[in-house]
Amino acid sequence: MTDSNETTAPDIDAAVTQEAPAAKEGTAALEAEVASLKDQLLRAMAEVENVRRRAQKEREDTAKYAVSGFAKELVSVADNLRRAIEAVPEDARSGNDQVNNLLTGVEATERQLNAAFDRAGIVKLDPLGQPFDPNFHQVVAEVDGTDKPAGTVVTILQPGYTIQGRLLREAMVCVAKAGPNNTKVDTSA
């Protein structure tokens, strides 16, 4: 006895065979969508990580270079302390206790300032005898009649400084001028 709602086996097989391609197409579309969403998720996660790293780097740089403006002012103070020490003639140093006491105080102040510079990562540039480097030096004049190759720093008029490896103030220098046997080195920055 067969029920009118019952379907025969061949009818079921035919129905499944007809629906199978449609189901496979739907599955393929869903798999493609899942793959696309996974890709978008991975890209978003990578972008979040990049933003986090950039923010961390900016925080580190801010902490490292926060004192740059203040340090720029202090390097001028260091220059003036050095000038004061060098301005005292040798003959005034001997036999004059007041001058010696003043000089001792200025030298102690200079040492303290240099120690503070060391702690802050501020380094004085000493390019004397080195080739001109436009990244760290500014040429003020070219000097004739030196035995140095053209473009070599022969005089430092004002020292330069770096802070944590970054230029704080460029050194003002004089370089050897190109002679008839020397080739000219580009000293323009």
Please state the rounded mean pLDDT for residues 111-117.
96
52: number of CA atoms within 13 Å, CB side? 6
Task: Centre a 10 Å sphere on the Cβ of residue 80 and count the other Cβ atoms it contains.
Answer: 12
Please state the rounded mean pLDDT for residues 8-30.
67
pLDDT band at residue 97, thresholds of 50, 70 and 90?
A: confident
Q: Where are the domains of the chain?
A: 10-66, 67-120, 123-189
Buried-state track 94-123, b at ≥16 Cβ within 10 A, e below 16? eeeeeeeeebeebeeebeebeeebeebbbe
- pLDDT score recorded for residue 176: 93
Cα of first residue to Cα of last residue in the chain, in angstroms, is 103
Q: Is residue 56 within 8 Å of residue 156, measured between CB atoms? A: no
pLDDT at 10 over 80: no
Q: Calculate what percentage of the chain has a pLDDT beyond 70.
A: 82
pLDDT at 79 over 60: yes
- pLDDT score recorded for residue 167: 94
SS3 24: helix
For residue 22, report the phi and psi dihedrals to the nearest 5 degrees: -65, -40
- pLDDT score recorded for residue 152: 93
pLDDT tens digit sequence for 131-145? 999 999 999 999 998
- The residue to which tokens 């004085």 are assigned: 124
- pLDDT score recorded for residue 187: 58
In CATH terms, the fold of domain 123-189 is Nucleotide Exchange Factor Grpe; Chain A, domain 2 (2.30.22)
SS3 172: strand
pLDDT tens digit sequence for 21-67? 666 777 888 889 999 999 999 999 999 999 999 999 888 877 777 78
pLDDT tens digit sequence for 148-187? 899 999 999 999 999 988 999 999 999 998 766 555 556 5
- pLDDT score recorded for residue 25: 76
Alpha-carbon span 82 to 108, nearest angstrom: 11
Q: What is the pTM of this model?
A: 0.63
- pLDDT score recorded for residue 76: 93
